Structure 1
Amino acid sequence: MIRTVVGELRPEGLGICDAHDHLFFRSALLVGQELDDAAAALAEVGEFAAVGGQAIVQWTPHGLGRRVEELPGISTRTGVSLIAATGLHRAEHYPEGFVEKVRPRLAEIFHAELTVGIGNSSVRAGLIKVAGGFHRLDEHARFVMAAAAEAHHTTGAPIAIHHELGSAADAVLDLLVDRLDVPPSSVILGHLNRFPDSRAHLDLAKRGAWLAFDGPSRANNATDPQLLACLAALIDGGYGDRLLLGGDTTTAKARGATGEGPGMSFLLTTLRPRLTGAFGADAADAIFRSNPARAFAW
């Protein structure tokens, strides 16, 4: 099953999916560009639905303004399945003292948000989102990933990773898979477009993890022109069944419906036709439909 904010869903019912995005997000590093407007979130999802979108995976983790109370209503009103996340981001995204407060209970928090509900709501998370550092895993990242692995082993929930500028994905697999016994099929490596090294991507694919490319996003504009070349190398290498694609909207300005764009709908109005033209309809359908259905299933 796949756990959405309104209940469990059979994987084949997920449909066309934005595999990494944010409807609500509040970070200490993005003051003034918070995503916390419910009307704007509804408009963004509605625009995505209007061009054929059927599911969105929100990677916003614990403590960063997930606004989970809004998610079931948005899902119901638009007909788009939404998946919420538990987990913890890099320490600098949080107010001073927050990480120290939750650190002793991390595995307990993750497990509760996956099985009982987030906060005082009955909305349960459908994945665990954690983060690495730039080319290395610091003590915070290792501690959080150990808690994520513990929660995975008690629930089966997938673990999605923010890689700082797309780096250190090999170190994440060394830790989660080789040392903490998380199956690579339950690991989603995010932001790989920010480190457009196809040889490195092929090495990661050989280890069995999911490879997530996020874009276009204002944070990724320098690597957007290399996206299709990175995907082509993996598809040619036989790993088209391990690829995911998301919009990764992290600021109000980047929304399509109420900001300057490109927004979530760009994935389907512009990127999907390009993928279809370059790799064929079956490859594009795998990236947007069948791969997410397997990646986010417990």
Structure 2
Amino acid sequence: MRPHRTEQSALLPHLQTVTGPLPHHAVTGPVLAHEHLVLDLDRAGDRAAVLDAERHGPAVVTELTQLREEYGLGLVVELTCRGMGRDAPALARVSRAAGVPVVAATGWYYEPFHTPDVVGSSVEHLTGVLVREVTDGIAGTDVRPGVIGEVGSHGEQPSEPEVRVLRAAARAAVTTGLSVATHAHLGRGGAAQLDVLTREGLPPERISIGHQDLLDDPRVHRELAASGAYVAFDTVGKEGYQSDATRLRLLLALLEAGHADRALLSCDVSRHGYLRTEGGQGYGHLFTGFLPALRSAGADDDLLDLLLRRNPLRFLTGGAEPPPGPHAPLPAETTP
């Protein structure tokens, strides 16, 4: 693995969580880099793509608490943004109840979920909306976003409204010092997203391109990582979209190409059926299913700490290097 590259962007002195500022060195355990704790993406009326704060909140708290106790879970990056059923007060309640810091987000998802204020709005107006949330709080609360995301597009090229949203996200990130996490639908269009974001002056090391484990193209992953952007393998356990065996192969290819310092991992729990109480894999599948297989493939404690803690913290802060670890128990190899 090559040495970490030197990054030139301004560094944030702390993480902004739903319960207040947190020094990045205070996070001593693994980070879930892309999750949802409260969510409403229902468009079919079946209420499947929902994580309701009242109905499902207790199960979410239980899972996060167990992960903190068993694996030292140190932080959850919660990427539910505008138009996705975001609930800032509920996130603060979940964070306090589970004893796990949570970073909230602002931005707009991909076009089918855009809120009415996107229609016809200029990039300047949209930028102002995001900057005000970062500086003043979400929807009249004192909960401030600590990341911009998951800003979305679908297809190889973003639509015109998606371009405006991406440009606004980049400008808001440059203004506030936050980083940007994207939703590349089914893993496609990451290079185009990166181009739009960087053209607005946002350094690649403050960008995470989402859902790349759904794209079976190691060349694209290498090119994104070589640019300095983070490559998110963030749908671990969603076997209906991609097998974990394929995810592992793609991740190992990226690591072998020398880009271990650019990979992010998470499960992207995005419907209540994924919760363990409903028979799903839960937020912990990364620890109980995927990481043991990664360790069996040769990953040691230092590599796991890099992937799970140092990379996401470096992404969130714009490049501040966390102290070395590991500090928390990590999964052992899969028993033969």
TM-score, reference length from structure 1:
0.93
Structure 1 residue 161: Cα displacement: 0.4
CA distance in 2, matches of 1:5, 1:233: 35
- Please name the residue that 1:45 is paired with: 64
Q: Any idea what SS the aligned residue of 2:258 has?
A: coil
**Aligned partners of 2:131 and 2:175 also within 8 Å:** yes
From 142, 157, 162, the counterpart of 1:141: 162
Structure 2 matches for 1:112-151, cutoff 5 A?
Answer: 112-129=132-149, 130-151=151-172
Which amino acid counterpart does residue 223 of structure 2 have in structure 1? Answer: D
- Count of matched residue positions in the alignment of Structure 1 and Structure 2: 295
- Please name the residue that 1:239 is paired with: 259
> Which sections of structure 2, spanning at least 5 residues, go unmatched?
1-13, 319-336
Change (3 A) 1:219 1:124: farther
CA distance in 2, matches of 1:144, 1:202: 26
- Please name the residue that 1:4 is paired with: 17
State the identity %: 32
Q: Which runs of 4+ in 1 moved over 3 A?
A: 28-31, 101-105, 217-221
CA distance in 1, matches of 2:79, 2:122: 20
Structure 1 residue 205: Cα displacement: 0.9
TM-score, reference length from structure 2:
0.83
Alignment pair present for 1:165 and 2:178:
no
Structure 1 residue 44: Cα displacement: 3.0
Structure 1 residue 292: Cα displacement: 1.0
- Please name the residue that 2:52 is paired with: 36
Structure 2 matches for 1:69-148, cutoff 5 A?
Answer: 69-94=89-114, 97=116, 99-100=118-119, 105-129=125-149, 130-148=151-169
Which amino acid counterpart does residue 57 of structure 1 have in structure 2? Answer: V
CA RMSD of aligned residues (A): 1.9
CA distance in 1, matches of 2:113, 2:272: 17
- Please name the residue that 2:217 is paired with: 197
Change (3 A) 1:211 1:175: same
Deviations 1:231-265 (Å, cap 9, x if unpaired)? 11111111101110011011000112x22210101
From 245, 259, 263, the counterpart of 2:282: 263
**Greater helix share, structure number:** 1
**Aligned partners of 1:51 and 1:268 also within 8 Å:** no
- Please name the residue that 1:23 is paired with: 37
- Please name the residue that 2:334 is paired with: none
Structure 1 residue 270: Cα displacement: 2.1
> Which sections of structure 1, spanning at least 5 residues, go unmatched?
none
Alignment pair present for 1:293 and 2:313:
yes
